[in-house]
Amino acid sequence: MCGIAGFSISRGDHRNVNCRQLAKHLLLSIQERGEDATGAAWSETDGDDKSVMFAKLDIPADEFVGSLNDLMPRYTRTAILHTRWATKGDPEELGNNHPIVVGDIVGIHNGVITNDDYLFAVEKWGRIAEVDSEAIFQLIEHSKDPVSRLHRLEGRAAIAWLDTKEPDTLHLARLDGSPLYIGATEHGSLVFASTHPLLEEAVKAAKVKLVTVTEVKPFTYLKVQAGR
Ligand code: GLU
């Protein structure tokens, strides 16, 4: 199964939303979709420098979230979150857990890619780990126009990724078969999670109000900056 979640915070919400709390509650909500490993990636600003930071461990979300206090800035603007139900690749090998890092791309995936071995053989990408999801982020890293090539992936996928070249941009895509829902706050932030009930549960616990929730339809790509 696996759970994915995250957010892109608008300028209007920047000081209203405690993003670290939101990240924790999103992770705790999606924990029921996978307990083999938990991970997070977020954009961080240090003066003029922007970067993508990430953390992952082979433990369930309720054991992981405490570490965010020391790691994730309270006013993080962009984050992606993952709870893993492993289908391929041992969770004890951290490279198999999400976020998966391939070059500039830091990504999370819910679903199963069935032609990953074929793509690795044909494209001759150097494989970092064993997890099927790595094929998605190798494809994105090695493409000038990645969205136009996502059709090469076979299987089920809801995907989110950050790119270290543009750390504040959230990329979201859904192929077929894995669910994905986005919500909007009154001030224009976007919050996403695998399912509608889990999204509602998390925002309620984090005291964030959504004014709309929408299903991301299959074969859709969204590029999100400051919630838009
Ligand atoms: N196939 C991926 C993995 O093993 C995603 C798992 C899932 O969504 O169930 O990590």
For the segment 94-132, what is each residue's pLDDT rounded down to a tens digit? 999 999 999 999 999 999 999 999 999 999 999 999 999
Is-above-0.95 flag for pTM? yes
Q: Which of 13-22, 51-60, 155-164 has the lowest mean pLDDT?
A: 13-22
The predicted pLDDT at position 1 comes to: 73
Mean pLDDT of all residues belonging to the chain: 96
Give every CB contact of residue 43 below 8 A, 6+ residues apart in sequence. 50, 51, 52, 53, 76, 77, 78, 79, 162, 167, 168
pLDDT band at 48 (very low <50, low <70, confident <90, very high): confident
pLDDT band at 16 (very low <50, low <70, confident <90, very high): confident
188 vs 9: CA distance, rounded Å: 8
Strand partners, 174: 158, 220
Mean pLDDT of all residues in 30-48: 95
Pocket of ligand 1 (CB under 6 A): 1-2, 84-89, 109-112, 131-133
Phi and psi dihedrals of 136, rounded to 5? -60, -50
Decide which of 16 and 179 is more confident: 179
State the distance from the centre of ligand 1 to the C-alpha of 46, rounded, in angstroms: 33
State the distance from the centre of ligand 1 to the C-alpha of 137, rounded, in angstroms: 13
Decide which of 14 and 187 is more confident: 187
Which atom, in ligand 1's list, is nearest to the CA of 96?
10
145 token code pair: 């126009």
